[in-house]
Structure 1
Amino acid sequence: MHITNLISQYFGKVAKKEFPSFFQKIINNTYVRIFKIDMSEFRNAKYYKSLTDLFTRELAIPRQIDEDTKSFISPADSFITQAGTLHKDTLFQIKGMEYSVEDLLTYYCSDKFDKLYNASYMNFYLAPSDYHRYHSPIDCKIKKLIHVPGKLYPVNIKYLNKELDLFVQNERVILECVANKKIFYMVFVGALNVGQMVFTFEPSVETNKNTKDINVITYDDLEVTKGDTLGYFKMGSTVVMVWEKDSVELENLENKKIKFGQKIATIK
């Protein structure tokens, strides 16, 4: 097991520990203050029983989403580090750091790679201050889930600029989805500290465990609605979305902060 996984497992045990209420309140308030978290849509920090509970908090006030049936919405609150069109089969984790879409999605998606040549993509970085639940970006069918064990390097801008193939090296969960008869992928990338990803529709998935085996789960008729909760990161990370070539027109969002529910692309 890589050192990043060991560190994350240890931190996860500490983060989920429920301390006496007076001490937990101090921990939570300190975390909120350090990372300047806007809690206006959530319960007061004192009500969360652990740091993990605070980090994976649900919205207390329902979020308004773009309801246009032709629009994709952001699956999460995040910062768009990169967006655009693949150069043939290559996309960027950050400017100057490229990697192959085949390496990202693994050979379990090999029969679909021809549709991803010059496809569209967008990278969503979730900072420690962000709301860390992720949602369906559109009404769609989930056809396949692929869990790829790996390392848990940090995914902040510093590491994106120095660690080659970071998204390919890190543990990730890939969702193969279909909307408007077109394929798109959502790739949830693990990161340092806890490194766990939860999927509410598939509780059998356990990340940051002592395994090296890729797990593939297929679905016959798993439909999700735009805005539905898909799961959550137990600590910060990244989502990468890849759309079939010529299927969407992306909004101009690179290097901008966005919110879950905000329009990110339009079906062509």
Structure 2
Amino acid sequence: MNMTISVRKMLQQEDLNFLLTNRIPRIALTRLMGKFSQIRSPLLAKMSIAVWRLFTDLDLSDAKKQRFDSLHDCFTRELVPGARQVDMREEVLSSPCDAIVGACGRVEGRQVFQAKGFPYSMQDLFGPSQDTSAFQDGMFITLRLTSAMYHRFHAPQDCTVEHVTHIAGDTWNVNPIALKRVERLFCRNERAVLRTRLKSGEPIAIVPVAAILVASLRLHFLDLLLHVDYQGANELPCQASFNKGEEMGWFQHGSTIIVFVPKGFELCPGVSTGTQIRMGQALLKHQSPQA
């Protein structure tokens, strides 16, 4: 009974959240939040975090530092050593981030679902410059980071990032209510496509998608901050190698990462829509003969 009331309350909050964020200038508010979060004032940060905790289940017990110079400092916090355990099995792709699993499963040809009855094409998501054929009939998994979660993301396996495509866009809310109401939402928002190759040779794609209040993505390997006012090159060739679990970058607040893999993978046991997962946990399992 208590669980039913809790779920109903959460859905009501997300419904109200969608209505509010659908009626405001999203990009302008995102810019404003970005500037506010950068204000260096420990007192202001402390007060803001106290207000933040009224609306979320923010848990800073595993944060490397407990006093923050700004909200941005809290959003992009590091964790104490050992706070996350990475599944090091060679056949497993670990979760790149803390998240709630959204839509996931097989790619139907080159079509993906953001929610039941709301399909979008990989080409629309990746942009016109990208070839999506490697992921046809493969697997995808949507990972939603809430505002209270750890916001850094990590390599799911030993891999090399070979190309980044930045695609400008809106900053729609990406909560479940919005995903059920706004068609092709992920294809509308600011995003980046990280074309990556595993050490074993298979391609994967990691697609961070921005949302309201969080159109900022730091990619350490390019020493670059992608955001709504970014004016640089949109096609960014690179050759950045990572070990499994190594940090790749961070979001400023919370958002979504969509992972695409070719045929030959399956979801790991226990991973399904609604599952809460932590960075480093088993996400996808490789079923090639050598595995």
TM over 0.5: yes
Instruction: Give the match for residue 103 of structure 2.
Output: 82
Residues 164-211 of structure 1: CA distance to partner in whole angstroms, max 9, x if unpaired? 111001010110011121111000001101411111111234311165
- Alpha-carbon distance in 2 for matches of 1:210, 1:140: 27
Q: Does 1:11 align with 2:44?
A: no
- Alpha-carbon distance in 2 for matches of 1:119, 1:107: 20
Normalized against structure 2, the TM-score is what? Answer: 0.84
Instruction: Give the match for residue 129 of structure 1.
Output: 148
Residues 2-37 of structure 1: CA distance to partner in whole angstroms, max 9, x if unpaired? 932221001111121123x34432322332353122
- Alpha-carbon distance in 1 for matches of 2:96, 2:256: 11
Specify which of 169, 181, 202 is matched with residue 222 of structure 2.
202
- Call closer, same or farther: CA 1:22–1:172 in 2, change over 3 Å: closer
* SS of corresponding position for 2:101: strand
Equivalenced residues, count: 260
Q: CA deviation at 1:44?
A: 5.5
Q: Does 1:249 align with 2:266?
A: yes
Residues 62-85 of structure 1: CA distance to partner in whole angstroms, max 9, x if unpaired? 321111122100000000011100
Q: Does 1:230 align with 2:248?
A: yes
* SS of corresponding position for 1:53: helix
Aligned counterparts, 1:151-166, within 5 A? 151-166=170-185
8 Å CA contact 1:195–1:234 kept in 2: the answer is yes
8 Å CA contact 1:79–1:256 kept in 2: the answer is yes
- Alpha-carbon distance in 1 for matches of 2:221, 2:233: 19
- Alpha-carbon distance in 2 for matches of 1:194, 1:259: 20
Q: CA deviation at 1:117?
A: 1.6
Instruction: Give the match for residue 58 of structure 1.
Output: 78
8 Å CA contact 2:86–2:279 kept in 1: the answer is yes
Residues 99-136 of structure 1: CA distance to partner in whole angstroms, max 9, x if unpaired? 001111122222xx332221100000001111111111
Q: CA deviation at 1:41?
A: 1.1
Residues 36-93 of structure 1: CA distance to partner in whole angstroms, max 9, x if unpaired? 2222211454x11111111111112332111112210000000001110011111111
- Alpha-carbon distance in 1 for matches of 2:25, 2:47: 30
- Alpha-carbon distance in 2 for matches of 1:75, 1:199: 14
Specify which of 79, 90, 95 is matched with residue 116 of structure 2.
95
Aligned sequence identity (%): 25
Aligned counterparts, 1:117-196, within 5 A? 117-179=136-198, 180-196=200-216
* SS of corresponding position for 1:129: coil
8 Å CA contact 2:49–2:71 kept in 1: the answer is yes
Normalized against structure 1, the TM-score is what? Answer: 0.91
Amino acid at match of 2:253: M
8 Å CA contact 1:188–1:238 kept in 2: the answer is yes
8 Å CA contact 2:99–2:276 kept in 1: the answer is yes
- Alpha-carbon distance in 1 for matches of 2:92, 2:126: 24
| Ranges in structure 2 where 5+ consecutive residues have no aligned partner | 1-23
8 Å CA contact 1:148–1:215 kept in 2: the answer is yes
- Alpha-carbon distance in 1 for matches of 2:225, 2:74: 22
- Call closer, same or farther: CA 1:23–1:147 in 2, change over 3 Å: closer
8 Å CA contact 2:216–2:225 kept in 1: the answer is no
Stretch deviating more after TM superposition (199-208 or 184-193): 199-208
Amino acid at match of 1:203: D
Q: CA deviation at 1:96?
A: 1.3
